[in-house]
Amino acid sequence: MSVISNQLLDMKRILFLIAVVLYGTIGVFAQSKSARAEQSIVVFNDVLRHLDVSYVDTLPYEKLTETAINQMLRQVDPYTVYYPKDKDRELRMMTTGKYGGVGAIIQQRDEKSDSTKASKKDKAKAKKYVIISEPYEGKPAQKAGLQAGDRILEIDGKKMADKTVAEVSDCLRGIPHTTLTVKVQRYGVAEPLSFVIEREEIKLPAVTYYGMLNDKVAYIAFNEFTEHSADDVRKALDELVKEHGAQALVFDLRDNGGGIIDEAVKVVNLFVKKGKTVVSTRGRTKQSERIYCTTQDAAYPELPVVLLVNHNSASASEIVAGSLQDMKRATLIGERTFGKGLVQSVRSVAYDGYIKLTTAKYYLPSGRCIQAIDYSKHQGKAEKDSTGGILPDIVLSDTSRKVDISYTLYSKQLFFDYATRYKATHPTIAPVKEFALTDGDIEDFCAFLDEERFAYETETSKYFGEVLEMAKHEDLDSVTIARLKEFAPQLKPSFREAIARHKAEVLELLEAEIIERYYYQHGRAEYMIKHDKTLERALEVLK
């Protein structure tokens, strides 16, 4: 077959794929009465035809198609997404919580930009590298010996310098029971270390932690609504009630981004009797209209429940929170939730791809719509409705987003880096309930910051610098400008003084980071419970 014939065949495939993505099937496209949509397809086809026939170089058809689709969908909403065949595992992981891999979170770092040691020129040339950020306890990476902070040098002999997180992740993931060799550089160890790891099917836990807050109140932290996650909640709750005598529950949905709607209904059904409407969906088509009701007898219809939410609680989390609130079955504490009330349906498209398509909106039993943002106003003009999301019964502000010394140290990864060094010099630490850093450890942390040449600059100082620059170009006299310059140093406090003022908060974040190096996610959760002001308020309500 000639080159031109191959190109024409590829063009036909592209046009077919575009049509299928837009209309679901060719038949639907042919029957469409939308003149505007048909006109857009004709224009796109014509442009692509001219490219195919006359463009000077060979065209990357698949990349052009994917780019065109993705740019189109970005104008619709953030949740309508195209998955070509080579990326369908991302979709499977979202719905099942499973993937074949080593069980570790990774992140990218810059070789020199983590501190102020490097000049701007050096930072621009700095190599990027990927590190192990968080190995999951009991998963292949942790069992093989990988630790948080390990810099990934090679995977199966392939160098990982300057690779993106996605590229490294692709090398780590694979078919369960296959092996790979990972070479890493570890802090405090001169020579690189190599680990042979057998991949497993990784199922991330939906219930990240559960236990008793006191002799009567149980606590469950729930991370995501994936397949069978409601069963995990039921098992944890059964154990807490039957084996530990729990008489009330604090159910934590903070930072839970949602998931499968059927799992949300099953979670509600644990506390609400059979036949109750949990949520309904409405869209443009009759098929998008549906009412979701509880179908089983409630396991715990009388158990007092306090439900914790924040600004990151979204979608299925909001269904659980909003429906239990509407039915006066739980007291909600925290922040107004995110406000994602859009229903996504997965449709197959040509060449084994998928499109996750927004088809409807969620409505609670009271008639409230969860959705907070109107995406009908495209191109960055979408506006958030202040009545969207779920407003808790007791509203508490989240102080974790304050821009202070703790925020700065956290955002610059300095808690993380110090914990890496601490682990290298402390083989073991005390149990979670007994572990505490001393004043000597705080001084050591400050010495570490000196070594990193950490300069604490407040946001106020940054803005004030801009004011000074503006003052030089405006009609201000030299005396006024001189006085402004005299004031500037007061906006750049010593980081040691700032740490002393926020000692409790700095200690909390630093201890939590260190504890996770030894006791992993479970240990961090157990530690953070002791310092959680929202949990304290929940216990007061249950009293």
**Which are the contacts of 210, defined by CB distance < 8 A and separation ≥ 6?**
218, 219, 220, 221, 236, 237, 239, 240
H-state helical runs in 426-477: 439-451, 459-473
Residues 409, 415, 416, 420, CA torsion sign: positive
Residue 356 annotated as catalytic: no
The sign of the dihedral angle between the CA atoms of 373, 375, 380, 383 is negative
- Strand 104-110 and strand 98-101: pairing? unpaired
Nearest to 30 by CA among 46, 43, 41: 41
CA distance 473 to 480: 13
Tokens of 416: 């993380």
Q: Which amino acid is at 160?
A: M
Question: 167 is written with which tokens?
Answer: 């590229």
CA–CA distance, 535 with 525 (Å, rounded to integer): 12
* Residue 40 DSSP symbol: H
Length of the chain: 543
Residue in 52, 77, 326, 532 annotated catalytic: 326
Q: Which residues contact 204 (CB under 8 A, 6 or more apart)?
A: 97, 98, 136, 223, 224, 226
Catalytic residue of the set 139, 266, 340, 356: 340
Tell me which of 229, 315, 317, 406 is the catalytic residue: 315
Secondary structure percentages of the chain, helix, strand, coil, to 5: 45, 20, 35
**Cα separation values, 35 from 40, 171, 288, 403, 452, Å:** 9, 46, 23, 51, 62
Q: How far apart are CA 528 and CA 251, in angstroms?
A: 15
Residues 204, 228: Cα–Cα separation, whole Å: 12
Give yes or no: 315 in active site. Answer: yes
Strand, helix or coil for residue 530: coil
199 within 8 A of 140, measured Cβ to Cβ: yes
Q: How far apart are CA 503 and CA 373, in angstroms?
A: 39
Query: 420-425 contacts: CB < 8 A, separation 24 or more?
Result: 420/148, 420/149, 420/187, 420/517, 421/187, 421/188, 421/448, 422/514, 422/517, 423/147, 423/148, 423/149, 423/187, 423/514, 423/517, 423/518, 424/186, 424/187, 424/188, 424/189, 425/188
Q: Which residue has the tokens 């992140």?
A: 107
Known catalytic membership, residue 276: no
Residue whose token pair is 């796109």: 44
Active site residues: 315, 326, 340
